[in-house]
Amino acid sequence: MSAPLLPHSVPELVEAVRSAPRVLAVGAQTKPRLGAVEAARISTAALKGILEYEPSEFTFTALAGTPVRELAAALAERGQYLPFDPLFLDAGATLGGTVAAGLSGPGRFRFGGVRDFILGVRFIDGAGRLLRMGGKVVKNAAGFDLPKFFVGSLGRFGVLAEITFKVFPRPASQLTLRLKTDGVENSARMLMDAASTRWEADALDLPPEGKGLLLRLAGPAAALEQLSSEVLGRWPGTRLTETEAEASWSGLRELRWAHAEGPLVKVALTPVALPLLDRVLAALEGTRVHVSAGGNVAFVSLASGSASTALDERLRGLGLSGVGLRGPGPLWYGEKARPKIALAVKQALDAEGRFPALDE
């Protein structure tokens, strides 16, 4: 495979898209399976930097190749952050790649995912036109909210040049509890019960290998002490130190727990379906699972590519869908229903078929 094109400006990016009949943008390639198709590669690595940042308006606009880690550092200096806990932060994930992959971390549980924070995009469509959709302010109600269609689009609708996001104030403090669980059925009930309490948990995750339930609280330190006492009065568990909590959440955010070589698959889920998923995965030796966002998504790591067919069949039997992030195996797993609106957007933005098809 030839080296990717490396534009250094938005005009060069436009020319790169126009230079080949079939192209696909790539970022830091932290999710390589998403781009494993035959097409000319266009790297956004040289397109980085914050173009606008208005702390008082809680918005920023940055080029698509900007590492999310750099954005997080700039926001932290002004006491702000991206609450959805972007994945692969330390691995170098870019803003454009994060949007295209549609990946969110544990913070999605309370505040929503990438889709809930994107305000506008500037992109190149299949005809090679540089277009803008959405706006640069939070209160923007003009027309359809098309920027959200780029979340999880895998680069199939166009090549992102710049993106505008809204951000939140960073909480005064955080406190993480590790609660004891007794089997998957019990864990699923705990997820649902904890989600419906007044505690308003910041994150609710089940780490792999039965390491209990992680419940993160955020807010004033005094309030967190009281809330944590209430939680521990209902379920047995322990408070983690700041160091222990950071190591736990960082490990989940970077997916360090996953097999290095086998397929890594994101599966859309509900807490009710968790016991069923656990049963079918138990037969796949060596499989590791991290359940995130209060039981609404599972990251499944297979020990080898030979198990990918079995996972595909089992998810289809449960009516669940998944997407491969890295390793061998198909791009889409399980149910593969394609909404008509997605096909319509694809036709409108890429009638020429310059970008890979939605199911490639």
Answer positive or negative: Cα dihedral of 95, 97, 98, 102.
Answer: positive
Query: Alpha carbon of 25 to those of 2, 6, 266: distances in Å?
Result: 14, 10, 21
pLDDT, residue 3, reads 87
Answer positive or negative: Cα dihedral of 43, 46, 49, 52.
Answer: negative
Going by C-alpha positions, the residue among 218, 199, 215 that lies closest to residue 207 is 215
pLDDT, residue 17, reads 97
- What 270-273 contacts at long range (C-beta under 8 Å, 24+ apart), as own/partner pairs, is 270/295, 270/296, 271/188, 271/191, 271/192, 271/195, 271/295, 271/296, 272/188, 272/192, 273/318, 273/320
Write down the pTM of the prediction.
0.94
CB 263 within 8 A of CB 324: yes
Q: At what angle do helices 183-195 and 274-282 cross, to 10 degrees?
A: 150
Structure tokens at 86: 């972007």
Query: Please, what are the domains in the chain?
Result: 10-165 (3.30.465.10), 173-253 (3.30.70.920), 264-334 (3.30.70.2250)
Q: Which residue numbers in the chain have pLDDT < 50?
A: 141
Query: Alpha carbon of 122 to those of 65, 115, 136, 140, 357: distances in Å?
Result: 13, 16, 11, 16, 21
Paired with 238 in beta bridges are 178
CB 84 within 8 A of CB 112: yes
3-class SS of residue 272: helix
pLDDT, residue 19, reads 95
Exposed, middle or buried: residue 275 (CB in 10 Å: 0-12, 13-18, 19+)? Answer: middle
Residue pLDDT, tens place only, 242-264: 999 999 999 999 999 999 999 99
Structure tokens at 71: 């954005």
